[in-house]
Structure 1
Amino acid sequence: MTPPPHLTTIGFDADDTLWQNEQFFRQTEEHFISLLADHGDRADIARRLLEAERRNLRLYGFGIKGFTLSMIETAIEVGGSNVPAELIARILAAGRDMLGHPVETLPDVADTLERLAGSYRLILVTKGDLFDQERKLAQSGLAPMFEAVEIVSDKNTATYERVFARHGAGPARGMMIGNSLKSDVIPAIEAGSWGVHVPHDLTWALEHAEPPLHEPRFRQIERLGRLPALIDEIEGR
């Protein structure tokens, strides 16, 4: 059997792979539900919010701004004419607070990037609000580690075909690392790359997917610090 070609490019997801993200959405959602406590059941409000988010993805994309608009839409849907302007203002304030939250990098991130940077082209592939993702990358202090940054509207097979062709020797010699099976791992494998899943304690409901255990280029590690050893194994070192 011909050995797989050596890796040239490694892509990293950002939110909940390099730094915390979902926990702030969960906290804001809990606050939002509390604000609407007089207008409905907590579980029903949470369900309606998720439905609004799913509906609005094609219009607003991923990120805090779309989430804030979905909260406002849900508040109007749940409360109708009884929703005061003050409540809408508090929802907007909650969204602004999210956009200003300090960046909290996850364990092993800086050390892992430093160990790989000299041997591979490292790129950041993330989706969400452009300004917010740029802000978080700058505050994280990790920007110098990456040779390229791709902030995309969505992550699918075509995304990884394009990214790994632009910044490397094609998908077959690329690897994507992330916490989302749906966005980071499965479409990268479909493009011909390696896909490495690094689970996070919290995963957004719309990012759930079954692990592609039958795929020879699928791997899962419990923490990012295991990545250099995994790459050595794949490269036959």
Structure 2
Amino acid sequence: MRPITAIGFDADDTLWQNEQFYRLTEQQFATLLGDYAGGSQVSDRLLEAEKRNLEHYGFGIKGFTLSMIETAIEVTNGNVPAKTISDILDIGRELLRHPVETLPHVEETLRALNGEYLLVLITKGDLFDQERKLAQSGLGDLFDAIEIVSDKSATTYRRIFSKLADGPDRAMMVGNSLKSDIVPAIAAGSYGVFIPHALTWIVEHVEPPKDAPRFRQIEHIGQLPEVLEQIRAA
């Protein structure tokens, strides 16, 4: 039997660019509040709000926009002008319309693996936004299943790989977030292939599990077939 029969892929900043658009929006937000606080102070307060609100709003643009509004209220001591709130809503909506920029080697790699492995897109965030990006990417037909989840944990991966495939021990998860994609997948019994992205959100940073036998790290997704061959030949 092949050691791996199913591969899960993260979406944002693994298949297409995402964090860069959040960074640009954060810069616009800091400019809006420039009369009240410096840019670094605004960013720090925004990050604090985002962390507080994850359990309430989850991951995604809507929660980010609400956190910007909350931060604006805090930074201005409750005196934020209505026009500024309107501007925040505008840049939040613009974030929902950003173009999909597929990362290098993604499409050809998925096409090469399609049919040989069960391919599952496992992503978290706003349902409508993730569906929009998948549709615009043109990659949807290359996946056997799509799972949009509220969060990613070992339980999440056990459930998905047990339901759709031959269990987590014969599965692999590929992504740019050690915290969400790699560490919990390995804890579930799967392989975890880490592809670093320069702009990964700070909340997703943890130490790589370098001593874990099923941990792998590559520079770009085009190297994934080689990793699979190495595991298969071992």
Q: d(CA) in 2 for partners of 1:142 and 1:41?
A: 41
1:97 aligned partner:
94
How far off is 1:5 after superposition? Answer: 5.5
Residue-by-residue CA offset, 1:145-193 (whole Å, 9 max, x unaligned): 0000000000001000001001100000000000000000000000000
Asked whether the equivalents of residues 5 and 172 of structure 1 are also in contact (C-alpha less than 8 Å), the reply is no
- The answer for unaligned runs of 5 or more in structure 2 is none
Provide the C-alpha distance between the structure 2 equivalents of 1:150 and 1:82, rounded to a whole number of angstroms. 41
1:44, distance to aligned residue in structure 2 (A): 1.4
Q: 2:11 aligns with which of 9, 14, 18?
A: 14
Q: Which amino acid aligns with 1:148?
A: A
Once the 2 structures are TM-superposed, how far is the Cα of residue 25 of structure 1 from its aligned partner? 0.3
- Deviations along 1:31-82, one digit per CA (max 9) or x if unpaired, are 1001101001222111110000000000000000000000000000001233
- One-letter code aligned to 2:137: S
1:116 aligns with one of 113, 119, 123? 113
Match of 2:36 among 34, 39, 43: 39
* Counterpart for residue 195 of structure 2: 198
C-alpha distance in 2, partners of 1:33/1:123? 37
Percent of pairs with identical residues: 62
* Alpha-carbon separation, structure 1, partners of 2:78 and 2:64: 22
Letter in 2 for 1:86: K
Q: Counterpart in 2 of 1:187?
A: 184
- Corresponding position: 1:168 with 2:165: yes
* AA matched with 1:182: K
- For residues 108-144 of structure 1, the C-alpha deviation after alignment (integer angstroms, 9 at most, x for no partner) is 0000000001210000000000000000000000000
Task: Give the 5 Å matches for 1:48-63.
Answer: 48-63=45-60
Q: Which letter does structure 1 place at the counterpart of 2:51?
A: R
Give the whole-Å Cα distance in 1 for the aligned partners of 2:40 and 2:175: 29
Aligned position for 2:73 = 76
Matches within 5 A, 1:224-235: 224-235=221-232
Gaps of 5+ in 1: none
Q: Given residue 96 of structure 1, which amino acid in structure 2 is its aligned partner?
A: R
Counterpart-to-counterpart distance in 1, 2:14 and 2:67: 25
- Which amino acid in 2 is paired with 1:227? L
Partner Cα distance (1:98, 1:168) in 2: 34
Q: Distance in 2 between matches of 1:81 and 1:206?
A: 27
Residue 136 of structure 1 corresponds to which residue in structure 2? 133
Compute the TM-score of the two structures, normalised by the length of structure 2: 0.98
Q: Report the RMSD for the aligned CA atoms in angstroms.
A: 1.0
Moved segments of 4+, more than 3 Å: none
Q: Say which SS state the counterpart of residue 123 (structure 2) adopts.
A: strand
Q: How does 1:147-166 map to 2 (within 5 A)?
A: 147-166=144-163
- Post-superposition CA distance 1:87-116 (Å, at most 9, x none): 000000001001011110000000000000
